[in-house]
Structure 1
Amino acid sequence: MTQTGPTDQDLWTAVAAGDEAAFGTLFDRHSRAVYNHAFRLCGSWSVAEDITQATFLAAWRKRGTVQLALDTALPWLLVVAGNCARTEWRSARRLRALLGRLPAEHDPDPADDVAGRLDDERSMGTVLAAVRRLPRAEREAVALCLWSGVGYPEAAAALGITEVAVRSRVSRARARLSTLLGATLTEEQR
């Protein structure tokens, strides 16, 4: 391929002096080749774009210290692209390893949470309506023993009655709730 205009060596000498236009010309001349090389190294067009950008950023940063051994900058740019691809691969490997060490938990879908809350509210409304129909003494026993998990001896002390009376109130409340709700409450529902 016949090259018109300044050689890469001439452009690189101007780039080393800080000539941004000369660097733009080198970019225009070689970015496609660097991009294709990067794609062949990583197999991803978007990662190839990142590697191409990193390659030319490294070239700009090293403009004052790198001397081209040939009349073309392309071989050096391809080596830099290879180094950038390896750096990208190592970073991705470390990220995958880090993610592999994280617990497999994921954030629940907020819609599931909202739907669950609505179902819970609906169910609780039905249960509360039934509990409100119980005598006050039985409501207190249900609230302490079934809902809050207070033991029978502690509930008896809190209510100022015997443990047998608390057990009796809970038993009567379960029987009435079963009738009112149309089903026997399981341990999980208590």
Structure 2
Amino acid sequence: MTRAQTAVDTSERAELDTLLTAVAHGDRVAFTDFYRATSARVYGLALRVVRHRAAAEEITQEVYLQVWQTAARYDAAMSTPTGWLMMLTHRRAVDRVRRESAASARDLVFGHAHRPVDHDVVTESVTRRLEASSVADGMRVLTPMQREAITLAYYGGRSYTEVADHLGIPLSTVKSRIRDGLRRLRAAVAEHVVAV
């Protein structure tokens, strides 16, 4: 690296350090300047990882929202502003790829498990009624709080986070209620099946 390039890098780092300090104090103009100086690099890295323009644009927005919210946590002793920004971007992009891969895998498994097969309609109808009856009976053994959380999640189609928001309780509490409720429900359904 030449001396001229080193001087430019040092100057850019000092400018970005100053802008991040101002952003940490809520300076919107500094945030705009920081965004203009760095957004092409953030978008470029996101695009290289996710390989989809719309996803890269979303990641870029998420990264700058995170910068606005957490600029006070930036530690110049640990990283350069650009290094910190690239780390935030890389993490979000990799998380997005992992989430999409997991969703694709779930869809594939679901598709294989639920592909149409030749079957006996009468047997399937009776089985479905028995299962529905077992689940309905099993729901009665749940506490009201477990029943409400499971109903919102599984019959209402809400995510655990949405259930937590709806009920106004912590996400960990929702997960515990649903997990414990499903255990009780599974045991009740198993007892019902054995009884039948």
Structure 1 or 2, whichever has the larger Rg, is 1
TM-score for the superposition, normalised by structure 1: 0.49
| Higher normalized helix content (fraction of residues) | 2
Q: Which has the higher contact order (CA 8 A, sep 6+)?
A: 2
TM-score for the superposition, normalised by structure 2: 0.47
